[in-house]
Amino acid sequence: MKNIKSLLLTIIVLALGSGAYAQKVLTIDEAMALALKNNFDISVSKSEAAISATNNTAGAAGMLPSINLTGSGNYALKQTGSKASENEEYTNQQNGIATLNAGAELSWTIFDGGKMFVAKSKLNEIEALGEIRYKQQVLQTLADVISAYYNVVKQKQQLAAIEQIIKYNSERVTIAETAFKTGSKSKTDLLQAKIDLNVNQQNAINQKTAIETARRELARKLVTDSNFDVSSEVTFNYTPDRDELNQRIYTQNATIQAFEKQLAIEKLQLKENYRTLLPQVNLSGGYYFQHITNNNFDADNRSQSRSLWPQIGASMVIPIFRAGNLQRQVALSKIEVDIAQYNLENTRNQVNTELLNALNTFESQQQLLTIEKENNELARENLDISLQRMRLGEATSLEVRMAQNDFEESATRLTNYRYALKIAETRLKQLLGEL
């Protein structure tokens, strides 16, 4: 009785322990949240967007004055010799002169043809572009995570299909072995069934390796360890409306938004370069302090002077000729605007093509998946019937093997179509910025 109690206690402890160390099932939403938190590409893009935001200040646009404190100090040791007449000797005199200067200076461009306001608008657009590029990186990373997540699901479903094949193959071996022992079938049927079983068991081993590889790749994108599992199911509840997507693609696509911002930036750069042709007015001002100490070492006396004074000024710069550089910059900016416009139109055309291709892929994968679901059920039923006929001695080993191969190929296609449909759905959502 004591031994039985100890055994039961051991079983309970082991059961609790296995539950504690069981892999956590990671949902797709949890995987995406981890990516947003940990992914290095997203972190880099977020930091780059922060740089654009940090640079967007009135000071960077040239709107604010600059104020400086200045200071300097000098000490000079001066020795002079003098004589009243030719017959007299030189009389030497040493002076130590210490000079201390300090001041506060202000310089301010109060008019530059409106260039500073254009520059501030350009900084606003650059900051907005940084946010859009951050959004692009988030969308791309999430799409990669979704693809990696459902690749693990796909590999697991493929393993489940192989395990079903092994189950059918094991039954086939049992039937062939019984038939061989009774003398109703030759040994070649049994040998072929065992060979096929061994191949399927090898496939299962390779498939487990593929699962671990896919899991580690997902973990890399999530920047976490691979001690997790994923759901084995793939849900489909997305029904895109072709007309609606065609209307929204130009306003919601992040790539188009980025090129629109780039065009706006180039136009502002052109306007900014035009403003450099206008006069510039600068104000300057300061308040200064000077202290001078003069030590006459020979006469043993010291004199000091101190000065305080303000100073204001103004200047105007009118560009007349700068080796044609200002006109060259304007001409180059016009070309950059044209390039940005071409890039935008090309991107719109490309994104529209990608949308149409993604919609066609989504619809075709839906149709293929529907057909393959039915085909898989038919292949399963055909294999069940073939095995039953083999038990009754009415079917050959070749017939059962063909039915088994049909079911195996159908299971593989079914898994691939599920994955392809989910990727097509993800691509559509990525194009619309809706991941």
Give pLDDT tens digits for 269-328. 999 999 988 999 999 999 999 999 888 766 567 788 899 999 999 999 998 887 888 889
Using DSSP, state whether 126 is helix, strand or coil. helix
* Residue ranges of domains in the chain, CATH in brackets: 23-56+113-278+322-431 (1.20.1600.10), 70-84+91-111+283-318 (2.20.200)
For the record, the structure tokens of 321 come out as 């000729």
| Predicted pLDDT of residue 197 | 94
| Predicted pLDDT of residue 407 | 95
Give pLDDT tens digits for 83-141. 656 666 666 667 788 899 999 999 999 999 899 999 999 999 999 999 999 999 999 99
**Cα dist. 136→48, 246, 270 in Å?**
13, 20, 27
| Predicted pLDDT of residue 234 | 86
Spacing of C-alpha 114 from chain mean position: 37
Say how far apart CA 415 and CA 424 lie, in whole Å: 14
13 pLDDT tier (thresholds 50, 70, 90): very low
Higher pLDDT, 236 or 77: 236
| Predicted pLDDT of residue 141 | 95
Beta bridge partners of 290: 101, 307
Own/partner pairs for 374-378, CB < 8 Å, 24+ apart?
A: 375/410, 375/413, 375/414, 376/407, 376/410, 376/411, 376/414
Q: Is the pLDDT of residue 34 over 80?
A: yes
Using DSSP, state whether 65 is helix, strand or coil. coil
Say how far apart CA 158 and CA 329 lie, in whole Å: 61
| Predicted pLDDT of residue 19 | 42
Lowest mean pLDDT among 263-277, 291-305, 330-344, 347-361: 291-305
231 pLDDT tier (thresholds 50, 70, 90): confident
**DSSP string spanning 71-93?**
EEEEEEEEEEEE-SSTTSPPEEE
Q: What is the mean pLDDT of residues 387-414?
A: 91
Higher pLDDT, 181 or 370: 370
Give pLDDT tens digits for 368-378. 999 999 999 99
| Predicted pLDDT of residue 21 | 44
Q: What is the mean pLDDT of residues 216-243?
A: 90
**Cα dist. 124→4, 306, 414 in Å?**
77, 49, 50
Q: Is the pLDDT of residue 12 over 70?
A: no
Say how far apart CA 152 and CA 39 lie, in whole Å: 19
Give pLDDT tens digits for 183-213. 877 898 899 999 999 999 999 999 999 999 9
Q: What are phi and psi of 59, to 5 degrees?
A: -65, -40
**What does pTM read for this prediction?**
0.82
233 pLDDT tier (thresholds 50, 70, 90): confident
| Predicted pLDDT of residue 4 | 38
Mean pLDDT of the chain: 89
Give pLDDT tens digits for 125-152. 999 999 999 999 999 999 999 999 999 9
**DSSP string spanning 403-414?**
HHHHHHHHHHHH
Say how far apart CA 306 and CA 320 lie, in whole Å: 43
DSSP 8-state assignment for residue 62: T
Give pLDDT tens digits for 414-431. 999 999 999 999 999 999
Beta bridge partners of 294: 97, 303
Higher pLDDT, 271 or 232: 271
197 and 173 Cβ atoms separated by less than 8 Å: yes
| Predicted pLDDT of residue 63 | 92
